[in-house]
Chains A and B, each alone.
Chain A
């Protein structure tokens, strides 16, 4: 449930490999708000129909969706507004069963129930269901260039650090030998 008012009307979620988001619905008061989806790499933008939202005159917006996955350790995408939003998350062991949350850090409340107070919403809640396909059995297939030149830049940066240190020690020890 998100308060409306000055809050942005756009939402986003971080899609996960082998995890299906379905039955997505936005409801303001009793009015179902249509939305359009647009993929942006692994992120999925959700743009709400502002006319329908305005006509609802509601003060809050309910976001509902189901997540399907066969993985034992599953990342559940969190559909969040595209602005800072503090939240309290609650996790319950139901069907499908959740054995324990992995990320973010949740505090056990009752038996089979956890809560987390967060300064901002996480993009995913990662849970261990205790059963299912093993970790590593499913990975996102990235298109070439999906990360831009990130890998190359990171590699050059790490290589620079890795070369600098021994070269410096080689120079420093030579100075002392000459002294």
Chain B
């Protein structure tokens, strides 16, 4: 425990150094929210990966592999289809647009403040759910390591997350993202060979899993379930406000495309690591009280102390870093879209940055409180937030980038209708009617409303930046 908290202390010190060295660059909005548009392919790739690879991965997906075996691993390449959509249809144009937030795009593309407001409010709602998953996972991890009760453990994770977001903004997030990639890949590279050596190798693990339940070595999740989950996550990422902010922060279109490739490299290594972790833990400790404990128990009890503590530290960094990206996006929705563009358009840059920092503190509290209620297994919470996200943003964003006939009314209807349909469908008893997942219903409703309402309303004249993009 002492070693663990020592490492967390070192991490905090590194975060403070990164935050303080970057602080002078974060005195205006472009510096604080999009790192002055200076990120290259490798740091950019680490940033994209670090946004995606959250507690849902290091705690949640390990737990998923623990209870469901190998089949969930296919969500990695399936989610990458969403990244391909981003690389082809979204990222280059959004980088050229060079906004600060995703609602910026909707406001410029469709005019008026209605779509900006709706997008900003939806970010606050969806990202509160996503941040809850991070804090819940952090609470499990710190609680098990320290023996603290959930409120103290969650409060510590929330405080660490808020601290470096306030200090470093997007610069801090980018460099902590690189640190996170190094820690994850380094600790997994040490842990995986140890597990394979001492559990008899992959075939031995496979035989043990197959004997527990043949679905563990085959298809626990059906292909349809995997595709729906992956499309919700992947297409949601293509339109995710925090990934769009990272795309704005990159140097050029070329840097964006290459960064997506680098994020694939990082994700592939991490994906193999979490797969081996989950499968090995099912053999090493077959009766855990709950699957989300697989990573904490692995780090604390199964691996040698030095490697185990590195794995746990990587999980802490993952939780707090993704939490930081989420908080930064929430801060930008408040400071830039609500405060700067709607409530007080004549505000100075310093006032907006201050509003963003205050928003970080304020929006740390609600998810911390929700995390105490423990909504579900961590990865289920992450998947639910992704379903809401893809139902809300995907169709209006891609349609707005590529369809000249799209209108503000169509975008507004698509966003609201998609989110409401997804939410309403998810409240129905399972199995869902017609076997349709809430994400499928949300995206279908969003598309129907976006195209239908756009065709039924007059096309506004496009603004100069949009003429260039479209």
Query: What's the Cα separation between A86 and B287 when bound, in Å?
Result: 10
Q: Does B463 contact A (CB under 8 A)?
A: no
Interface residue A4 (Cβ < 8 Å from any Cβ of B):
no
In chain B, positions 284-332 with a C-beta closer than 8 Å to chain A are 284-289, 293, 296-297, 300-305, 308
Q: B287 — which chain A residues lie within 8 A by C-beta? A: 80-85, 120-121
Nearest CB of chain A from residue B264's CB, rounded to whole Å: 5
**Beta-carbon contact of A126 and B214 below 8 Å:** no
* A86 CB, min distance to chain B CBs, angstroms: 8
Task: Report the bound CA distance from A80 to B113 in whole Å.
Answer: 62
Among A20-28, A40-48, A54-62, the one that faces the other chain is A40-48
- CB distance B217 to A148 under 8 Å? yes
In the complex with contacts A150-B209, A160-B77, A161-B76, A142-B300 CB distance below 8 A: no
Provided the pairs A139-B200, A140-B204, A154-B70 are in contact, do residues A172 and B87 lie with their beta carbons within 8 angstroms? yes
Q: Is A151 an interface residue (CB 8 A)?
A: yes
Residue pair A43, B77 in contact (C-beta under 8 Å) = no
Partner of A176, one of B200, B214, B254, B260: B254
Contacting pair A164 B264 (CB below 8 A): yes
A105 touches B272 (CB 8 A): no
Total count of chain A residues near the partner, CB < 8 A:
53
Check if B253 is an interface residue, CB within 8 A of chain A: yes
Q: Give B residues with C-beta under 8 Å from A.
A: 70-71, 73-74, 76-77, 80, 84, 87, 144, 198, 200, 202-204, 206-212, 214, 217-218, 253-254, 257-258, 260-261, 264-265, 268, 271-272, 283-289, 293, 296-297, 300-305, 308
**Which residues in chain A, 149-168, are within 8 Å of chain B measured between CB atoms?**
149-151, 153-154, 157-158, 160-162, 164-165, 168
Chain A at the B interface: SS class: mixed
CB atoms of A123 and B286 under 8 A apart = yes
Which of A123, A147, A151 interacts with B284 by CB under 8 Å?
Answer: A123
Residues in chain A near residue B217, CB distance under 8 A = 147-150, 153
Interface of B is mostly: helix
Find out whether the CB atom of B70 lies under 8 angstroms from the CB atom of A150: yes
Collect the chain B residues with CB atoms within 8 Å of residue A17's CB.
200
The minimal Cβ–Cβ distance linking B222 to chain A, given in whole angstroms, is 14
Q: Is the CB of A165 within 8 A of B144?
A: no
Most chain A CB neighbours (cut-off 10 Å) among B77, B87, B265, B286: B286
Determine if A105 and B74 form an interchain contact, defined as CB atoms under 8 angstroms apart. Answer: no
Distance between Cα atoms of A153 and B287 in the complex (Å): 25
Distance A126 CA – B288 CA, assembled complex (angstroms): 19
Please report the C-alpha to C-alpha distance between residue A149 and residue B71 in the assembled complex, in whole angstroms.
11
Question: What 7 new A-B contacts, CB under 8 Å, besides A104-B302, A151-B202?
Answer: A42-B204, A105-B308, A119-B297, A122-B301, A147-B209, A153-B217, A165-B261
With a cutoff of 8 Å between Cβ atoms, the chain B residues found around residue A140 in the complex are: 200, 204, 207
Interface check A99, CB cutoff 8 A: no
User: Which of these, A147, A162, A165, A172, contacts B203 with CB under 8 Å?
Assistant: A147
Interface pairs (26), CB distance under 8 Å = A14-B283, A41-B207, A43-B212, A80-B287, A102-B198, A105-B301, A116-B301, A118-B297, A118-B301, A119-B288, A121-B285, A122-B302, A126-B198, A140-B207, A146-B207, A147-B209, A149-B218, A150-B70, A150-B206, A151-B202, A151-B203, A157-B73, A157-B74, A164-B77, A168-B87, A169-B258
A146 to B208: give the CA distance in the assembly, Å.
8
- When distances are taken between beta carbons in the complex, the residues of chain A under 8 Å from B293 are 119-120
**Within the assembled complex, what's the spacing in Å between the Cα atoms of A34 and B339?**
73
Task: Assess the B283–A148 pair: CB atoms within 8 A.
Answer: no
Task: State the Cβ distance, B188 to closest chain A Cβ, in Å.
Answer: 14
In the assembled complex, the CB of A35 is this many whole angstroms from the nearest CB of chain B, namely 18
Asked if residues B208 and A43 are in contact (CB atoms below 8 Å), the reply is: yes
CA distance A35 to B209 in the complex (A): 24
Q: A137 at the A/B interface (Cβ < 8 Å)?
A: no
**Contact status B301-A42, CB under 8 Å:** no
Residue pair A153, B264 in contact (C-beta under 8 Å) = no
- Does A175 lie at the interface of the complex (its beta carbon under 8 Å from any beta carbon of B)? yes
B302 CB to closest chain A CB (Å) equals 5
Q: Assuming the A-B contacts A124-B284, A161-B268, A161-B271, are A148 and B87 also in contact, with contact meaning beta carbons closer than 8 angstroms in the complex? A: no
Bound complex: CA of A102 vs CA of B80, how far in Å?
A: 38
Cα–Cα, bound, A14→B285 (Å): 11
Contacts of A121 in B (CB 8 A): 285, 287
A93 within 8 A of B: no
Q: Quick check: A105 and B300 within 8 Å, CB to CB?
A: yes
Q: Determine the distance from Cα of A177 to Cα of B150 in the docked complex, in whole angstroms.
A: 53
State the CA gap A91–B149 with chains docked (Å): 29
- Alpha-carbon gap, A70 to B24, bound state (A): 65
Complex Cα spacing A139 to B204, Å: 9
The minimal Cβ–Cβ distance linking B275 to chain A, given in whole angstroms, is: 8
Say whether, besides A42-B204, A142-B207, A148-B210, A84 and B289 are in contact (CB < 8 Å).
yes
CB-based contact B257/A14 at 8 Å: no
Question: Does A51 interact with chain B (Cβ within 8 Å)?
Answer: no
The answer to whether A169 and B272 have CB atoms under 8 Å apart is: no
